[in-house]
Amino acid sequence: MLTLTYEYKLIPDRQQIEVIEHTLSEGPSVWNYALRERKDWLASRKSPVNACSLKQEYIISPDAPYPNYHNQAKSLTKAKKINEVLKSVNAQVLQQVLRTLDRAFADMQSKKLGFPRFKNKYRMRSYAYPQMLKNCVKGNQIKLPQLGWVKFRKSREIPDGFELKQARIVRRASGYFVMLSLQLDISIPDVPFHGHPLGIDLGLDKFLATSDGELVDRPRFLNQLQRKRKLLQRRLRNKKKGSNNRQKLNQKIARLHQRISDTRKDWHFKLAHHLCDQAQSIFIEDINFISWAKGMFGKHTLDASFGQFVTLLNWVAWKRDVFVAKVDKNYTSQICPNCGFYAGKKLLSEREHNCPECGYKTHRDVAAAQIIRNRGVEEYALLA
C-alpha cells in the first residue's frame, strides 16, 4: 500500500467559505464536549465511595459506561437530531473529531503523552472528510460533502491509478487548502529483482550517493528559499501581534513554505526518475527516518524529507518496472565493499574510503552505497 498526500489551493466562493468556517468552528465544540465528558467520567471514578472528594465532582452513576468512541459517536448521532447547529455540519466530519480525540487518549496511555487539551475556535485549523466518492475530481473542481463542487488550483496532476481516500480542508493565512490522501493498492516488490543493481546511500552531506559513483547534492535552490524563509521569520519578531503588517508577512511566509515543499517534491520526482533510468533494481538502506532525523540533528534538520523521497521512489520504480527493496543499514560505512574487510568506524571528517587490506579507494558514501548494493544482491538475487 502506497499513500501520497497532495495539496491544492482551494478557490471557494463566498458561500463555500461560510460552510468551511462553520465546520471549523463547530469542530472544537464537539471536541470540547466529548473531552469534558471523558474527563468527568474519569474524575468521578477517582473519588472514594465512602467519602466525598474535596474538590467538586460530578456524580456519575456507576453503571454509566465509559464514554469511548463508540458511545460518544452514538450520543452524537442522537444530538444531531435535536440540535440545529450540529445538524448543519457533516456527520462524518464530526465523527472524525471524536475519532481524533479517541486517538489522543490512546496516545496518552501508550506514549505517555499529556492529557488532551480543550480547543478554542482558533486552534482548529483543519477538518477531514474521511470518505470520498469515486470521480469526485473533474478538471479543476472537486466535489466535497456539503460544499458541492469547489474549484481548486491544479498545480499538479493527480497520478493515475491512485484512489482518493480522504480530503482534509486546511485554513491557513494564505487561504484554504485541500490535502488529498491518495492510495495505491499494491504490495511494493511486485517486480522481481533483475538487471543492473544500484545501491543508494542517503546522507547529510550529500543528498545521496549511488554505488555507481554518482554523488547527488542537495538542490541549492532549496537552500536559497529556506534562507529567505528564515529571514522573513526573523522579521516577524519585530511586528506587533495582530497588526496588519504581521498578517501580511505571515501570508508571505506561508506562500514561501508552500513553494518550498512543492519544489522539493518536484525535485524528488525527477531524482527518482533519474535513478530509475540507470538501474533495474534499486536497494536502499532501511532507516526509520523520523527517529534518525531527530537523533542526528535535532530541530535544525535541513529537510528531513528522505521519507517522502523513498515513498516517491517506490512509486516511480513501481510504475517503471524497477525493483526496489530495503536492506539492513548496519555498518555500511565500516566495511570495504571490495574485499569485505572490516575497517572500523570512520570519523565524520574522513571523506574517503581507503581500504588497508586491498587498497580499494573511493568516496566514503559511494563505498556505503556499494555495500548496500552488495547486500541487496546477496539477499534478492537468489530469490529471483
Determine which residue in the list 358, 361, 381, 384 makes contact with Zn ion, applying CB under 5 A. Answer: 358
Nearest CB to Zn ion, comparing residues 339 and 348:
339
In angstroms, give the least distance from the CB of 133 to Zn ion.
59
Q: Which is nearer to Zn ion, 265 or 364 (CB)?
A: 364
> Does 233 interact with Zn ion (rule: CB under 5 A)?
no
Question: From the CB of 374, what's the least distance to Zn ion, in Å?
Answer: 12
Candidate residues 178, 293, 355, 377; the one interacting with Zn ion per rule CB under 5 A: 355
360 touching Zn ion, by CB under 5 A: yes
Q: Which of 330, 357, 378, 381 binds Zn ion (CB under 5 A)?
A: 357
Stretch that binds Zn ion, among 39-47, 125-133, 259-267, 353-361 (CB under 5 A): 353-361
Of residues 18 and 357, the one with the C-beta less far from Zn ion:
357
371 binds Zn ion per the rule CB under 5 A: no
Closest to Zn ion by CB, 167 vs 355, is 355
Contact window for Zn ion (CB under 5 A) among 27-35, 160-168, 262-270, 355-363: 355-363
Instruction: Please list every residue from 328 through 347 that binds Zn ion, using CB under 5 A.
Output: 336, 338-339, 341
Cβ of residue 382: shortest distance to Zn ion, in angstroms? 24
> 321 vs 357, which CB is nearer to Zn ion?
357
Please check whether residue 308 is in contact with residue 302, taking contact to mean a CB–CB distance below 8 angstroms.
no
- Give the shortest CB-342-to-Zn ion separation in angstroms: 10
Under the phi-then-psi rule, with left for phi > 0, alpha for psi from -120 to 50, and beta for the rest, what region is 303?
Answer: beta
Interface with Zn ion (CB under 5 A): 336, 338-339, 341, 355, 357-358, 360
